[in-house]
Amino acid sequence: MRCAFAACRTISRVYHLVVDGFRDKALKAARFAGEVVAETLWPTRCAVCDALGSVLCERCAKALKNVDWWRACHRCGSPFGRVQCDLCNPVALDRIGRDDLPYAGCASAVLFDEAAGRLVRVFKDQGEQRLSVVMADMMARMVPPDWRFDAVAFVPATLAAARYRGFDHAQLVARDVSSRLDSACIEALARPKTRDQRALTGRQRIANLAGRFRALDRPMPNRLLLVDDVYTTGATLCAATDALLAAGCCKVYCLTFARV
């Protein structure tokens, strides 16, 4: 009786392995067929120049203006602030109502120009999510070797923006950055209720974000790498860092794709 039961169980296992194997192959074949159809109807084009072939062609990738780490301020990441920073000196900080910057360091991959701006818009507003990998590759290379962090977090989009786009752009980039840095990606901040920042002046951005970020009610790592897409005035990163430090983080580093 036991032998018969064991034989039936073995046959059942073999059957399920065979069925699961066929199912996996069928799913892969269907996914591949879908990609072929999509590529035929809507061929991949460069986000910057619209050339066929890839989401960012080699020519446009080389034309992006990379931030030179040796010329950038190692405190705030200003592209040309290594000797005398134009953004984190006392006079500049006073304009934004601060005595010091809350984050321990900041770095960016490229300067924000017409090409970088178009790339970001195609990613965020036109839903070309494959650009996340491209941006994350550039960003991960800019992380200084002496930065020590326990996890990667991101500046969340508002609920309205995430629903409109169908995804949270910063979360997507943060996941790709974390995989390249072999670190965990966590949700640390609640979604803010703010106006869209792109149409606001520097002072309006500061007022718009004052006290709007809130850390989630969970234990926070001692050190975090905070990811966002564009550094404009620094108001967003400062406000988000303030919330993380108030929640128990000891040190926050910031990383963005583009720097205005």
Sign (positive or negative) of CA dihedral 69, 71, 77, 80: negative
Q: In this predicted structure, what is the pLDDT of residue 181?
A: 98
Q: In this predicted structure, what is the pLDDT of residue 39?
A: 47
User: CB of 169 within 8 A of CB of 154?
Assistant: no
Fold that domain 65-259 belongs to in CATH: Rossmann fold (3.40.50)
User: CB of 184 within 8 A of CB of 174?
Assistant: no
**What 8-state DSSP symbol labels residue 215?**
B
- The continuous run of DSSP H or E covering 108 comes out as strand 105-111
Give residue for tokens 């901040």: 189
Block means of pLDDT (10 residues each) for the chain, 260 residues, are: 53 59 60 47 88 96 95 94 90 85 97 97 96 98 96 96 95 98 98 67 60 92 98 92 97 97
Q: In this predicted structure, what is the pLDDT of residue 8?
A: 53
Q: How many CB atoms lie within 10 A of CB 98?
A: 16
Tokens (6 digits) for 105: 């360091």
Tokens (6 digits) for 104: 């321990």
Q: In this predicted structure, what is the pLDDT of residue 96?
A: 77
Q: In this predicted structure, what is the pLDDT of residue 171?
A: 98
Q: How far is CA 224 from the centre of its chain?
A: 14
CA end-to-end span of the chain: 76
Tokens (6 digits) for 207: 């007022």
Q: In this predicted structure, what is the pLDDT of residue 97?
A: 80
CA triple 87-253-246, angle to 5 deg:
95
Cα distances (Å, whole numbers) of residue 128 to 137, 166, 197? 16, 11, 21
Give residue for tokens 């199912």: 23
Q: In this predicted structure, what is the pLDDT of residue 35?
A: 43
Tokens (6 digits) for 249: 């983080």
User: CB of 249 within 8 A of CB of 104?
Assistant: no
Q: In this predicted structure, what is the pLDDT of residue 49?
A: 96
Q: In this predicted structure, what is the pLDDT of residue 233?
A: 87
Q: What is the pTM of this model?
A: 0.81
> DSSP letter string over 40-103?
HHS--B-TTT--BSSSS-HHHHHHS-B--TTTS-TTT--TT-SSS-SSSSHHHHHHTT-SS-SS
